[in-house]
Structure 1
Amino acid sequence: MTTDWPAVPLRSPLALCALTVEARRVDDLLARLPMPSARTPAQRDAVSSALDKVRGMRADYVEAHAEEIYAELTSGLTRHLRIDELVRAAARAYPGLVPTDEQMAAEQSRQQAEKEGREIDQGIFLRGILRAPKAGPHLLNAMLRPTPRALRLLPEFAESGVARMEAVELRRRDGVAYLTLCRDDCLNAEDAQQVDDMETAVDLALLDPGVRVGLLRGGEMSHPRYRGRRVFCAGINLKKLSAGGISLVDFLLRRELGYIHKIVRGVFTDGSWHSKVIDKPWVAAVDSFAIGGGAQLLLVFDHVLAASDAYISLPAATEGIIPGAANYRLTRFTGPRTARQMILGGRRIRADEPDARLMVDEVVPPEDMDEAIDRALARLDGDAVPANRRMLNLAEEPPEAFGRYMAEFALQQALRVYGKDVIGKVGRFAAGSA
């Protein structure tokens, strides 16, 4: 019997040995130097040159051996590792290819401006894996599997219909899963806790047979400017980014490959012969604003409502980062010109202007939102809706194309969050809003 996967990984021992030696040399150099902000220009140049060399070696190695690496780490594709598990396994099996747990723990204890940028090395690795024809799709499916936390909470939620988390409240009523973003301390700005809670809530809604359709809406805020008003999402939490609390693996990539991709594709299970996924239709309701990540979310929902006094914006380019998968999805909604105006120029679109209808299905007075939401949910609660939305999503967003985009995103976003311009901007924002 033959197999496409080698029984013994083709490690290319000489190349791996050379990479390991060079990685140790760079680590020794970094250990001898002061923190990044205290380095002299000559020291910064030495670090930059050393990192360029070792990162070139890493990129070459993973590009040449991605399939073999992934085969070993997943025992011939029999294990379904999430991206955080995959990078940790790679650090143990391939010294010098990705940062160790100890190196990442040291990074996470620092503010963004004082990190060495080791997440860039994780981005190099994950770009190579996601590009690989066999490893990439397998990893995408692994990220669609329900999280252990959701599986743990499922029996209780199925019985009670309620799950309360720090960033999200989930309630089931009359076949609808109501997901309410409830971080009123930061206007529902996104961080790792929000991503974890959202993926848990999406998993529960998809796995619970009593749910037929899902709704995402922001809750009422206690912020002085928005007290008593609902707010959808203020985008990435820039304070957390400045403080070093926004990670590539646990936030930026988990968000895209986890709960957002599950809204599009469904949750992956062992399933039955006719389908390995459980997917359901989704409605989003925008009160006040959908900024950054909030605007990105609208692109994966089947029906979007907005209050007439709300607005939508994607300020990631002005912040210096990449707005998730918006660069991949937005053009098919708005066309290329409006997409560039929003992403490259930071254009804000009011819900009551004509171009808003390119992203929003209904614009209603704020006082009519509840009734409009009920009507939208009823329209999507049809037997033929899930199958048709699945075919629409397959045609509009083929998994192979999505995988190619996310492969490049893994590296480019890692590079951006360590850009001098980004660190300077988020540092000023954090200082000004302290």
Structure 2
Amino acid sequence: MYETLSTQLSEGIFIITINRPSKMNALNATVMSELALAIDEVYTNKDIKSAIITGSGEKAFVAGADISEFLSLTTTQGAELAKKGHVVFQRIEECPKPVVAAVNGFALGGGCELAMACHFRVAAENAKFGQPEVNLGIIPGYGGTQRLVQLIGKGKAMELMMTADMIDAGEAYTLGLVNHVVRLEELLPKATSILQKIHTKAPLAIAKVVKCVNAYYKTGVDGFETEVTEFAECFATKDMQEGATAFVEKRKANFIGE
């Protein structure tokens, strides 16, 4: 189905693998278009409960964008490129189902931005993160200037983007850029185990957590009001009735996402 991606659905987990090993899984126009289609599938396919985004091979998650595509771009075309990237990555960020980045090597430039658009990140010990765009005379264009600040704070984000330095998985964990660091062979099992735990929770409530947390960063949106509204709406769901009843009856809840 895809030229630059491979996908696999198992037990409700949809694994999306960027598959351009000869190019270190670099993002190009085709990857972005196909990634948009794959994320649409996460939204619409009822058999998909969550997703993992990773890269093929052991060297790179996504080692940046395909720079050869940049050489002929005008200012207008550059804006269009950035806007398309923003749309795709925002769809990931706002997905009502959990999306985890399993970072298996270099996550640079657009690759780091892709990882940051996911709800959280699990990294292999060999992972490297960075926003080296200033080396090319450009800046991050797929949301990196915003999401890196959100995740690690203004000062360190400024330093990393200005120096173009790479950081290893250990430092990324210390800074809060990644949630877990594991051996490479444990990467997908770790991401899978976290998602399997989330699968036991109320799907509608999970979606509302995503919406409320993202509201914190949206200009003109009151996150507290969003929380009140989303909290109240939970009381009209069968899942809330099931969860509360199961708690009182001291049994495991069986959520149906309604």
TM interval, short-chain normalised: 0.7 to 0.9
- Matching residue of 1:301: 118
**Which is higher, the Rg of structure 1 or of structure 2?**
1
Q: Is the 8 A contact 1:212 1:280 kept in 2?
A: yes
When the two structures are superposed, what TM-score results if normalisation uses the length of structure 1? 0.47
Out of 300, 307, 323, which is 2:140 matched to?
A: 323
Cα RMSD, aligned residues only? 2.3
1:223-242 equivalence runs, <5 A: 229-242=58-71
Distance 2:218 2:117 in 1: 10
- Following superposition, the deviation at residue 282 of structure 1 comes to 0.6
When the two structures are superposed, what TM-score results if normalisation uses the length of structure 2? 0.77
- Matching residue of 1:199: 36
CA offsets per residue over residues 76-128 of structure 1, 9 Å max, x none? xxxxxxxxxxxxxxxxxxxxxxxxxxxxxxxxxxxxxxxxxxxxxxxxxxxxx
1:13-412 equivalence runs, <5 A: 164-220=1-57, 229-242=58-71, 244=73, 247-248=77-78, 251-257=81-87, 259-266=88-95, 279-324=96-141, 325-353=143-171, 356-381=174-199, 382-383=201-202, 384-398=205-219
Q: Secondary structure of the equivalent of 1:165?
A: coil
- Following superposition, the deviation at residue 350 of structure 1 comes to 0.6
Q: Secondary structure of the equivalent of 1:185?
A: helix
- Following superposition, the deviation at residue 242 of structure 1 comes to 2.2
CA offsets per residue over residues 214-256 of structure 1, 9 Å max, x none? 1100012xxxxxxxx2521011111222255994365321111
Q: Secondary structure of the equivalent of 2:170?
A: coil
Q: Which structure 1 segments of 5+ residues have no match?
A: 1-163, 221-228, 267-278, 402-434
Q: Is the 8 A contact 2:173 2:181 kept in 1?
A: no
With over 3 angstroms needed to count, the CA separation of the structure-2 counterparts of 1:357 and 1:375, relative to structure 1, is: farther
Q: Is the 8 A contact 1:188 1:231 kept in 2?
A: yes
Identity %: 23
Q: Secondary structure of the equivalent of 1:312?
A: strand
Q: Is the 8 A contact 2:94 2:210 kept in 1?
A: no
Distance 1:245 1:293 in 2: 19
- Matching residue of 2:245: none
Distance 1:186 1:311 in 2: 17
- Following superposition, the deviation at residue 186 of structure 1 comes to 0.9
Q: Is the 8 A contact 1:191 1:251 kept in 2?
A: no
Q: Which amino acid aligns with 1:298?
A: A
With over 3 angstroms needed to count, the CA separation of the structure-2 counterparts of 1:235 and 1:209, relative to structure 1, is: same
Q: Is the 8 A contact 1:195 1:251 kept in 2?
A: no
- Following superposition, the deviation at residue 260 of structure 1 comes to 0.6
> Which structure's residues are more often strand, by fraction?
2
Q: Which structure 2 segments of 5+ residues have no match?
A: 223-258
Q: Secondary structure of the equivalent of 1:352?
A: helix
Q: Is the 8 A contact 2:51 2:98 kept in 1?
A: yes
Distance 1:256 1:347 in 2: 23
Q: Secondary structure of the equivalent of 1:309?
A: coil
CA offsets per residue over residues 291-318 of structure 1, 9 Å max, x none? 0011112222222111112110100122
Q: Which amino acid aligns with 1:236?
A: A
> Which structure's residues are more often helix, by fraction?
1
With over 3 angstroms needed to count, the CA separation of the structure-2 counterparts of 1:305 and 1:355, relative to structure 1, is: closer
Q: Which amino acid aligns with 1:374?
A: T
Distance 1:398 1:304 in 2: 25
With over 3 angstroms needed to count, the CA separation of the structure-2 counterparts of 1:367 and 1:399, relative to structure 1, is: farther
Distance 1:251 1:192 in 2: 9
Distance 1:171 1:195 in 2: 18
- Following superposition, the deviation at residue 355 of structure 1 comes to 5.6
Q: Secondary structure of the equivalent of 2:117?
A: coil
Q: Which amino acid aligns with 2:213?
A: L
Q: Which amino acid aligns with 1:318?
A: N
Aligned residues: 217
With over 3 angstroms needed to count, the CA separation of the structure-2 counterparts of 1:398 and 1:167, relative to structure 1, is: farther
